[in-house]
């Protein structure tokens, strides 16, 4: 997670993000109507660690990123609900 060129991508809602998130996570709301276009603006050369609350949205987002040509995409299984690390608010 602390490697250069690694992006922690939170695909939850802004309300969920405000309640607590992985430090330095970038928020892109999965439910936003512009979600796909926002993914297009990301740098494909970076590694993406994707998470949501329980793993469903992040799994779908990871699949979409891969379909868009992103090569290094990892989904946090079971999502933020199972995260045992540091939390930022």
CB atoms within 10 A of CB 70: 19
Kind and range of the H or E run holding 51:
strand 47-51
| The CATH number, out of the four listed (1.10.1030.10, 3.40.250.10, 3.50.50.60, 3.40.50.300), of the domain defined by the range 6-82 | 3.40.250.10
| 5 has pLDDT over 90 | yes
| 59 has pLDDT over 80 | yes
- For residue 2, the model assigns a pLDDT of 74
Average pLDDT over residues 6-32: 97
Predicted TM-score (pTM) of this structure: 0.95
d(CA 55, CA 61): 10
Q: How confident is the model at residue 35 (pLDDT cuts 50, 70, 90)?
A: very high
């Amino acid at each position: 997670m602390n490697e250069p060129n690694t992006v922690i991508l939170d695909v939850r809602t802004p309300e969920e993000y405000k309640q607590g998130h992985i430090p330095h996570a970038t928020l892109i709301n999965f439910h936003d109507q512009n979600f796909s276009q926002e993914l297009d603006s990301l740098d494909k050369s970076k590694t993406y660690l994707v998470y949501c609350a329980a793993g469903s949205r992040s799994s779908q987002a990871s699949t979409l990123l891969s379909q868009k040509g992103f090569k290094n995409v990892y989904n946090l299984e079971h999502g933020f609900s199972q995260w045992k690390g540091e939390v930022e608010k």
